[in-house]
């Protein structure tokens, strides 16, 4: 029998490896920026066009490469970080497998320019689909500039799996945040389609968090610090009242490398136990420094998961450190804000001297001496007390008319009223959650929250589709604060928001100013609407053909629907029920969950057998 096992060609092996390394444009961003970090760059520029589908370029001022290294770095398993297998357990760098550049070059057009510090000229290489098109000497600044164009040009099937520009850009920004937060001593700049999204100068860790997520987060941060033989913990957690509906502000860094760990995340959540509202998550930015020998980084292709030698001890230390910081924050008195302003000295009295009170004593006063004044006062008091009993005589009985009905009789009559006389349209609220009404076939039970969601969803969708929403002007414009990435997400929905009734005065880098809101929406509900909208954008990850109008209508319906536990009047109950069955799809909520159930009379009869 002939031999059937053969070695794969290099370009095929590279494409297979690319499926593991390069999942989307954000994967390329991660690999290229981490290479710049490993090259000891102090300034890194990331240039992205069309969410990375057209171009991703990283420019750094690092060490650069020689002519030979520039050519060799695109070969598989070519790396300067590993000499032996023992080096895998004492890693201090990001990229070490030597597959990133080879995988990227196999599925894109790559242009590399690099120069060492002491060389006069650098090297330029052009590669298309693992094939070197040219290599020449060029004039270029110190460092490396690598441009990746037309991602997945030779794998159309993979390109079709990419999501919309909004979704892919959000993944790129997430990777950018993770690297920028891990290295506050490095300057980072991000451009998208020619506009600057982030400009992060060199700073300390707290300032880097503020630069990334906006100035408002500065007041929310509580420092965390703990130094033990096993781990050194530094960083910040957000105050419990500033928790979010998403996990977008949860960051763990181990030896300056971002990781995901559900186990350690549970340790932080356990420290916040009892302090968070249901459905909200804590925000934290924690750096862990551990012995490289005590962790195994090479267990996941993207290197975002790490195996710890002693996870249980690490869990306990993180939980106690965070809890200690929260305890310090809660115990410390805030005198400036809790003091009573009524006790403050008026400004006009600031230069006045305190006046000692004058004491006057009547030396002729004798408490045992009876005076005419005292007797007259006593007689007057007795007269006043006797007057209280003048009108206490029993009033003459009044004959009540026969037709008068007492409240107790009405209640008794209603309690024992025949059920057949109860109108079929009567609606009752059960535990402030459900609306119960009778049907010919049995019983109707409606979830009031989901039902109102369906009503609002179809109403908002209709208004945004026909562009006929009614706005109400605010007396004073409302200013909301968000991070730069949240602002970009909201900008992509600006047209749909305006069609739903919102009027915007301005869109800043960190603020949104609103002068008009949809009809029947109060000022207090506006932050809730936008928080829910951002949460849905981050969690649902809409597809490329996903309607942003639909997403907006769902978010607004979730925010404004009557909640479970809210008491409704009889008129509100009947209106909600009638409005639900006037909808096009009354049986399901916008999330395709049932809005009501019916219980047949036969099933009820069986319960009494």
Segment 296-343, tens digit of pLDDT: 776 666 667 778 888 889 999 999 999 888 887 653 334 444 455 555
- Which residues in the chain are classed under CATH 3.30.565.10? 10-202
Of residues 151 and 544, more confidently modeled: 151
CB 201 within 8 A of CB 189: no
- What CATH number has the domain spanning 434-598? 3.30.1370.100
Distance CA 242, CA 259 (A): 23
DSSP, collapsed to helix, strand or coil, labels residue 158 as helix
Q: DSSP characters for 260-323? A: --HHHHHHHHHHTTTTS-TT-B--EEEEEE--GGGEE-TTSTTS---EES-HHHHHHHHHHHHH
When pLDDT is cut at 50, 70 and 90, the band that residue 124 belongs to is: very high
Whole-angstrom CA distances from 215 to 218, 244, 248, 264, 430 are 6, 17, 17, 28, 45
Which pLDDT tens digit goes with each residue over 155-201? 888 888 888 787 888 889 989 999 999 999 999 999 998 888 889 99
For residue 33, the model assigns a pLDDT of 92
Distance CA 472, CA 557 (A): 18
Distance CA 92, CA 81 (A): 9
- Which residues in the chain are classed under CATH 3.30.1370.100? 434-598
Residue 272 has pLDDT above 60, yes or no: yes
For residue 337, the model assigns a pLDDT of 46
**Residue 22: CB partners within 8 Å, gap ≥ 6?**
28, 31, 103, 104, 107, 151
DSSP, collapsed to helix, strand or coil, labels residue 131 as strand
DSSP 225: E
When pLDDT is cut at 50, 70 and 90, the band that residue 287 belongs to is: very high
Residue 107 has pLDDT above 80, yes or no: yes
When pLDDT is cut at 50, 70 and 90, the band that residue 402 belongs to is: low
Query: pTM of the entire structure?
Result: 0.69
Which residue's entry shows tokens 């995340």?
Answer: 265
Q: Choose the weakest-confidence range: 85-94, 147-156, 166-175, 371-380.
A: 371-380
Whole-angstrom CA distances from 164 to 159, 524, 532, 556 are 11, 32, 21, 22
Q: Which CATH architecture has domain 211-330?
A: 2-Layer Sandwich (3.30)
- What CATH number has the domain spanning 10-202? 3.30.565.10
Bridge partners (DSSP) of residue 295 are: 308
Whole-angstrom CA distances from 355 to 347, 352, 360 are 17, 9, 16
DSSP, collapsed to helix, strand or coil, labels residue 584 as coil
For residue 236, the model assigns a pLDDT of 93
For residue 81, the model assigns a pLDDT of 60
When pLDDT is cut at 50, 70 and 90, the band that residue 42 belongs to is: very high
Of residues 414 and 482, more confidently modeled: 482
Distance CA 485, CA 537 (A): 11
Residue 527 has pLDDT above 90, yes or no: no
When pLDDT is cut at 50, 70 and 90, the band that residue 20 belongs to is: low
Residue 409 has pLDDT above 50, yes or no: no
- Which residues in the chain are classed under CATH 3.30.230.10? 211-330
Nearest to 110 by CA among 161, 78, 154, 66: 154
Can you give the length of the chain in residues?
609
């Amino acid at each position: 029998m002939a031999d059937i096992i053969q070695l794969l060609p290099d370009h095929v092996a590279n494409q297979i490896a690319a499926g593991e390394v390069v999942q989307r444009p954000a994967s390329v961003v991660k690999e290229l920026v981490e290479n710049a970090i490993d090259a000891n760059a102090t300034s890194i520029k990331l240039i992205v066009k069309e969410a990375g589908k057209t171009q991703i370029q990283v420019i750094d001022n690092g060490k650069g490469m020689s002519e030979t290294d520039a050519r060799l770095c695109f070969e598989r398993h070519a790396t300067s970080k590993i000499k032996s297998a023992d080096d895998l357990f004492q890693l201090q760098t990001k990229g070490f497998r030597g597959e990133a550049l080879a995988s990227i070059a196999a599925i894109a057009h790559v242009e590399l320019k690099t120069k060492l510090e002491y060389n006069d000229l650098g090297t330029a290489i052009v590669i298309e689909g693992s094939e070197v098109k040219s290599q020449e000497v060029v004039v270029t600044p110190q460092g490396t500039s690598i441009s990746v164009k037309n991602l997945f040009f030779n794998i159309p099937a993979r390109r079709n799996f990419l999501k919309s520009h909004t979704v892919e850009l959000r993944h790129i920004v997430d990777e950018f945040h993770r690297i920028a937060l891990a290295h506050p001593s490095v300057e980072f700049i991000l451009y998208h389609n020619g506009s600057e999204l982030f400009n992060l100068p060199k700073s300390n860790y707290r300032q880097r968090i503020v630069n990334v997520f906006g100035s408002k987060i500065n007041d929310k941060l509580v420092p965390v610090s703990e130094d033990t033989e096993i781990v050194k913990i530094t960083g910040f957690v957000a105050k419990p009242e500033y928790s979010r509906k998403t996990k977008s502000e949860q960051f763990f860094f181990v030896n300056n490398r971002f990781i995901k760990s559900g186990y350690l995340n549970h340790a932080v959540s356990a420290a916040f136990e009892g302090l968070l509202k249901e459905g909200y998550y804590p925000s934290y930015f924690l750096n862990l420094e551990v012995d490289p020998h005590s962790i195994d980084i090479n267990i996941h292709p993207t290197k975002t998961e790490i195996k710890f030698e002693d996870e249980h001890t690490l869990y306990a230390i993180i939980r106690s450190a965070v809890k200690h910081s929260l305890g310090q924050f809660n115990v410390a008195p805030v005198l400036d804000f809790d003091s009573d302003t009524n006790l403050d000295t008026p400004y006009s009295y600031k230069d006045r001297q305190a006046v000692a009170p004058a004491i006057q004593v009547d030396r002729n006063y004798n408490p045992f001496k009876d005076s005419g004044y005292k007797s007259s006062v006593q007689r007057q008091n007795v007269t006043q007390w006797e007057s209280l009993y003048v009108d206490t005589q029993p009033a003459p009985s009044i004959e009540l008319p026969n037709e008068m009905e007492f409240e107790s009789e009405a209640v008794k009559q209603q309690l024992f009223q025949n059920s057949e006389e109860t109108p079929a349209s009567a609606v009752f609220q059960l535990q402030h959650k459900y609306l119960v009404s009778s049907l010919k076939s049995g019983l109707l039970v409606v979830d009031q929250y989901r039902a109102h969601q369906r009503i609002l969803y179809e109403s908002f969708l209709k208004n945004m589709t026909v562009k006929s929403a009614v706005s109400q002007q605010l007396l004073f414009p409302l200013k909301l604060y968000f991070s730069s990435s949240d602002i970009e997400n909201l900008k992509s929905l600006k047209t749909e928001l305006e069609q739903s009734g919102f009027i915007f005065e301005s869109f800043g880098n960190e603020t949104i100013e609103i002068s008009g809101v949809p009809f029947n929406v109060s000022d207090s509900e506006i932050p809730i609407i936008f928080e829910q909208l951002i949460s849905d954008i981050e969690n649902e990850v809409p597809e490329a053909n996903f309607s942003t109008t639909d997403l907006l209508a769902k978010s607004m319906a979730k925010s404004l629907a009557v909640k479970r536990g809210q008491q409704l009047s009889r008129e509100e109950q009947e209106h909600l029920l009638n409005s639900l069955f006037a909808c096009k799809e009354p049986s399901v909520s916008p999330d395709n969950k049932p809005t009501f159930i019916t219980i047949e009379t036969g099933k009820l009869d069986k319960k009494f057998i």
